Amino acid sequence: MKNVKFFVVEDHSLTNLGIRQFFTEKPEYECCGFASEKDEALEKLAELDFKNSLPDILILDMNLGQYSGLDVLKVVKEKYSSIKVVVYSMYTNPGILSLALDNGALGFVSKDSMEGELLRAVTEVVHGGSYVQQTLVTSLFTYRSLLDSLTKQEQNILKKIIERKQNDQIASELNLTIRSVENYLSRIYGKTGCRGHEELIAKFG
């Protein structure tokens, strides 16, 4: 009897199909929907919520065209807190991994891994646990140690950069002047050894 409902958000159609087929071959998993981009995903989840048929687990890509998977993750955790999210992404830099976990993801697996890794993550999360692919853990700890060396506002700004926000967006979202953002960035560059947004993203995001 199938009893674990899952939903896939993945912009590559063949990968989306492959994930669904992989899990529906397991007797305990049932696909209740899929989407390739943010608006489609949120619309379908709203329909499932109306039918009182939300998924137990959401398998989420981080790259969704013009949007980030983080955009979907934030809305899902705000509106549908019962849904457990596992990120399955080719973007595995520690900044992205940390942001996903901070925003409510319970699992994170690289697309470079074998499919059994994703199954282990989903199984662990379904049963109430959490799962981060072991090969990603060391860089995550290193990144979080770096965060601890930054002030709270510096942390906020670094996280916005990892989300690909520009200085004017950061200033608006954090209620700062652009000059203040630039001053904070100078301190971040000094502490990280990076010289610009691009280097920060390449190193951490």
Average pLDDT on 50-66 reads: 94
> In the predicted model, is pLDDT for residue 102 greater than 70?
yes
φ, ψ of residue 81 to 5 degrees: the values are: -65, -20
Q: Say yes or no to pLDDT of 201 above 90.
A: no
Fold of 4-138: Rossmann fold (3.40.50)
pLDDT attached to residue 203: 85
Task: In whole angstroms, give the CA distance from residue 78 to residue 22.
Answer: 29
Q: What is the pLDDT of residue 2?
A: 58
What share of the chain in percent tops pLDDT 70? 99
Phi-psi region of 128 (alpha: psi -120 to 50; beta: other; left: phi over 0): left
pTM here is: 0.87
Q: Which residues contact 115 (CB under 8 A, 6 or more apart)?
A: 22
Question: 149 in helix, strand or coil?
Answer: coil
Can you give the residue ranges of every domain in the chain? 4-138, 149-204
Q: Is 176 left (phi over 0), alpha (psi -120 to 50) or beta?
A: beta
Nearest alpha-carbon partner for 107 in 80, 82, 89: 89
Q: Does 149-204 carry CATH code 3.40.50.2000? A: no
User: Mean of the pLDDT values across residues 169-187?
Assistant: 95
Structure tokens at 106: 């319970």
Please name the amino acid found at residue 27: P
Rg (CA), the chain: 18
Taking the C-alpha atoms of residue 199 and residue 100, their distance in angstroms, rounded to an integer, is 20
Q: pLDDT digit string (tens) for 108-151?
A: 999 999 889 999 999 999 999 999 999 999 999 989 998 999 99
């953002």: which residue's tokens? 181
pLDDT score of 1: 46
